[in-house]
Amino acid sequence: MSKNAYCCAMKKLRFFLIKLPLIGIISFVICSILAAIIFPGTEKEVIGFKSDYYSFTHNFLSELGGLKTNPNQTNPNIVKEDNTIAMLLFNGNLIFIGLIIILYYYHFKKVFNLKQDTLRARRFATLTTPIGLVSGFLFAGIGAVPFDLHFDAHVFFAHYAFLSLFFLAIFHSLTVYHSKFLNNNYVYGYVLFCILLLIYLYILFFGPIIAPNVVYTESDLILQVIAQKSIVISFMIAFLHQVYGFSKVLKTER
């Protein structure tokens, strides 16, 4: 490969593996905060909870992406307010995040090929790529299908997005572990995230069920809501750690 072609490839990879993920995480945080500020409020009759604002402990992130507030409440006295602006902000950005994950892992294996990394690193990178594409599609699906438009489809995308993320994190970690360019510190960060994600998956699949026409307690709701937000924050931190690792690799010369 010529020097010009190599520099061009490096510049392209820096955009998809460093700049674009940073833009995505920053925009997700900003859009989520704005959507939470705009959110009209909520009422959950089953636990006797009511607020005129977005609750960090009582509202799922997906509620920011609902078409209306309180869509599953059967009591006619509970107001169902329009949530269009918050929905567009949150869901639009979630689709954007899904696209970023797809583009990130589409270019992921190219780093290890370009840097002529170990054979094992290149093989694991090749296996990581399709899992990343599926995971990105599922995360985009969460935003494309609001929970009050089709609850079952939304839950399917949400559950399997995080399940696919678990396998993605494992193969990503194995790739980095066998790389001669990335320090094993980046493996330890993702392994910790894998452990946290495994705990969350247990809570998600085997913990209290929070769904329409299901009786649950306030502590059940808080457990699921806090677990969801915790794993999302953990994912952003772990992802930023990987982005930092690639920034060091991709600024080195051939």
Instruction: Give the pLDDT band of residue 64 (cuts 50, 70, 90).
Output: very high
Rg, C-alpha atoms of the chain: 20
| pLDDT tens track for 177-215 | 999 988 888 888 889 999 999 999 999 999 999 988 889
Whether 162 and 204 have beta carbons less than 8 Å apart is answered as yes
Whether 254 and 6 have beta carbons less than 8 Å apart is answered as yes
Share of the chain above pLDDT 90, in %: 72
How far is residue 144's CA from residue 80's CA, in Å, rounded to a whole number?
21
pLDDT at 126 (0 to 100): 95
Lowest mean per-residue pLDDT among 22-31, 66-75, 145-154, 220-229: 66-75
| pLDDT tens track for 82-107 | 899 999 999 999 999 999 999 999 99
The yes-or-no verdict on residue 171 having pLDDT over 60 is: yes
Q: Enumerate residues 6+ apart whose C-beta is below 8 A from 253.
A: none
Q: Enumerate residues 6+ apart whose C-beta is below 8 A from 19.
A: none
Instruction: Give the pLDDT band of residue 245 (cuts 50, 70, 90).
Output: confident
Q: How many CB atoms lie within 10 A of CB 121?
A: 23
pTM for the model stands at 0.91
How far is residue 113's CA from residue 186's CA, in Å, rounded to a whole number?
19
Mean pLDDT of 3-10: 80
Domain range summary for the chain, segments of one domain joined by +: 3-249
Share of the chain above pLDDT 70, in %: 98
| pLDDT tens track for 34-43 | 999 999 999 8
Instruction: Give the pLDDT band of residue 252 (cuts 50, 70, 90).
Output: low
